[in-house]
Amino acid sequence: MQVQNHWQGRTRYTVFDSDYGDGARVAALIAAWRVDPQRPRHLHVVALATDLQAGFHRIPQPDAGVTLDLLAAPLETALAELNAHLDFIRLHDAAGSAFARPLARLTTLGARLAAPGLDDDQRAALTAQGFVFEDPGHAVFASRKPRLPVTPEPVRHALVLGAGLAGCALAARLCARGWQVTLIERHPAVAMEASGNLAGIFMPLLSRDDNVPTRLTRAAYLYALRLWAQLGGVGQAFDGAACGVLQLARDADHAAVSRAIADEHTLPPDFARWLDSADAEALLGLPAPDGGWLFPQGGWARPGSVCEALLASCGARLTRLFGAGDVTLERAADTWLARAADSAVLAGAPTAVLASGAGARRMALTADLPLQTLRGQVTHLAPGAAPQLPLVLCREAYLTPSAQGVLCAGATYDLDADPALRTSSQLENVTRLRALVSDPHAAEAAPLAGRVGFRCVAPDRLPLVGRLPDFAAAGSTERLRDVPRHPGLYGLLGYASRGLIWAPLAAELLAAQLEGEPLPLEMALVDALDPARFVLRARRGGRQAANTAFEL
Ligand SMILES: Cc1cc2nc3c(=O)[nH]c(=O)nc-3n(C[C@H](O)[C@H](O)[C@H](O)COP(=O)(O)OP(=O)(O)OC[C@H]3O[C@@H](n4cnc5c(N)ncnc54)[C@H](O)[C@@H]3O)c2cc1C
């Protein structure tokens, strides 16, 4: 059976293909979707690919109605980590039969399976799970056993509180899906709090054991690069440069661990390249005694210009309520209402998203989340006060190339709430900068200049993405899926020091959750971002005290 004969009359349709190959089959499917008057409104394609780094990769598409996920994982693992409702399944040369059960968990009633070349054991395993074979290579799924919960068709109108990177990225991903978005901001313009820096750095994270933060950061970094390319490119769609980032090793031990990671040869050279001392020094023109990682596609961007580019892509579906002052949210029947400080109702919608950064700590609905505010001061230097580099250089500190005629060096991590620039923070930045560029006179007599911002940080330093928990109603919950949640209330919080790359993937994930689309991340990683993780941790006694020492 052809996929096109089966999708007619459906609003949403998901195809799984166990072999992306050269992409020609998927390209033909999307081309057929484009011209079919009876096409589903949303087409989702999920396919296994072999030539990508391990993990799930969402590839931005020119058609707003299409999503494409390429999963770089063995079939059984990919199915176990996938959250999707499959309507058409193509299997090619599957090995063993252990995939039958995780496949059935994802399969919708009436879904079609096309699987030439199955052996008798595989057919028996699929039959046991509810597939009814019409001929040796084709089956229909007939089991009514409850599987993954189905998301009801949403009312596509959301209030988004906060016009920093988090809120602007969500507005873009929701408007692309046909949502009306009311974006509410205390200030008269975007990016006037944490997202207001002249330059933020973007780069991935590496670890020997490829742990959860590393996998999440990789997924976020790669998705951000792809989304920005679709927007028009870094330096074109917004201010910045994909000039590369060189992260110097802290010492010989750090260099040895890094070299061991490099020797595993799993990292594509355009993602990360280990440079020994001589190569790093040749690139930099400065001492680099222990070498460093080069991230060739990394760089810097001005977050405020990223916000503006994202909102420009929203079109007429976006309503800006800026200059709104301190807004609170309240639930009335099935609607979230945004109220101004004088209690006037500004807007209402069935869905509300808190993308309010450090402001979340002051809101009653999020007061129980263990979020901390960390002050950061960046130092702005005139060109000439420090070396002008061809790329971003970092270790404990960082130095950017000239951003609009300014070199940015930073940043401090402080527990106090002082909004003013201060000399002690500048001295801290300058001291670290001198060590970074091996020049004891760098930034000598630099005037006090820069910017102070406040990061919103969770104890595990991972963002919070998803439905917000109701701590008061939590009782003795042991599992994430049982944690009571506020109806229709979501969070995009805790972007810490990586807001540039968290924002696009977190927005895409939340938009997919709201729509009931396939999720762009492995379930283990989705769970690691679930704001309700702190309800379970609080219950297990693991809740962090307010003055926890963060690993920075
Ligand atoms: C010094 C410093 C250096 C950094 N360096 C980097 C870097 O190199 N790379 C990187 O990726 N990230 C960096 N970051 C982190 C990055 O800036 C943040 O992760 C990101 O800006 C967070 O975006 P956000 O939208 O969550 O928060 P914000 O930008 O703070 O946006 C939240 C918005 O919500 C609004 N708001 C809050 N409460 C209310 C309310 N009640 N009513 C109305 N409006 C409200 C606020 O006014 C604000 O505009 C740095 C941060 C700092 C402070």
Confirm or reject: Cβ of 195 under 6 Å from ligand 1: yes
pLDDT at site 543: 44
The stretch 32-44 carries a mean pLDDT of: 96
Bridge partners (DSSP) listed for residue 295: 245
The confidence score (pLDDT) of residue 476 equals 77
Instruction: Compute the residue count for the chain.
Output: 552
Number of the ligand 1 atom closest to the C-alpha atom of 454 = 53
Q: What angle do CA 269, 275, 279 make, to 5 degrees?
A: 120
- 422 φ/ψ sector (left φ>0, alpha ψ -120 to 50, else beta): beta
Query: Is 399 near ligand 1, meaning CB less than 6 Å away?
Result: no
Predicted confidence at residue 330, as pLDDT, reads: 96
The predicted-structure confidence for 368-426, as pLDDT tens digits, reads as follows: 999 999 999 999 999 999 999 999 999 989 999 998 899 999 999 999 999 999 999 99
Interval 87-142: pLDDT, tens: 999 999 999 999 999 999 999 999 999 999 999 999 999 999 999 999 999 999 99
| Residues 355, 492 contacting (CB under 8 angstroms) | yes
Which atom of ligand 1 lies nearest, measured to the CA of 168? 25
What percentage of the chain has pLDDT greater than the value 90? 90
Distance in angstroms (rounded) separating the CA atoms of residues 221 and 239: 18
pLDDT of residue 548: 36
The answer to whether residue 431 scores a pLDDT higher than 50 is yes
**Dmax of the chain from CA atoms?**
81
Rounded distance, CA 358 to CA 369, Å? 12
| pLDDT for residue 538 | 73
At 1, is the pLDDT very low, low, confident or very high (cuts 50, 70, 90)?
low
Residue 371 CA, ligand 1 centroid: distance in Å = 13
Is any atom of ligand 1 closer than 6 Å to the C-beta of 165? Answer: yes
The pLDDT assigned to 260 comes to: 94
What's residue 147's pLDDT? 80
**Residue 52 confidence class, pLDDT cut points 50, 70, 90:** very high
Percent above pLDDT 70 for the chain: 97
- Of 513, 493, 514, 498, nearest to 166 by C-alpha is 493
Q: 40 in ligand 1 pocket by Cβ < 6 Å?
A: no
| Atom 7 (ligand 1) nearest CA | 200
Tell me, in angstroms, the distance from the centre of ligand 1 to residue 484's CA: 28
Is residue 379 within 8 Å of 409, Cβ to Cβ? Answer: yes
Is residue 361 in contact with ligand 1, taking CB distance under 6 Å? no
**CB hemisphere CA count around 214 (13 angstroms):** 11
pLDDT at 541: 64
Quote the ligand 1 centre to 286 CA distance (angstroms): 33
- The 8-class DSSP code of residue 229 comes to H
**Residue nearest (by alpha carbon) to ligand 1 atom 10:** 498
Containing 222, the helix (H) or strand (E) segment is helix 212-231
Q: What pLDDT score does 544 carry?
A: 43
Residue 494 CB–ligand 1 contact under 6 Å: no
Mean pLDDT of 522-527: 98
The mean pLDDT value of the chain amounts to 94
- If one compares 145 and 465, the residue with the highest pLDDT of the two is 465
Residue with tokens 């193509």: 90
Q: pLDDT band at residue 540, thresholds of 50, 70 and 90?
A: confident
pLDDT in the model for residue 545: 39
Q: Is the CB of 162 under 6 A from ligand 1?
A: yes
Phi-psi region of 67 (alpha: psi -120 to 50; beta: other; left: phi over 0): beta
The answer to whether 96 and 120 are in contact (CB under 8 A) is no
Average pLDDT over residues 47-58: 96
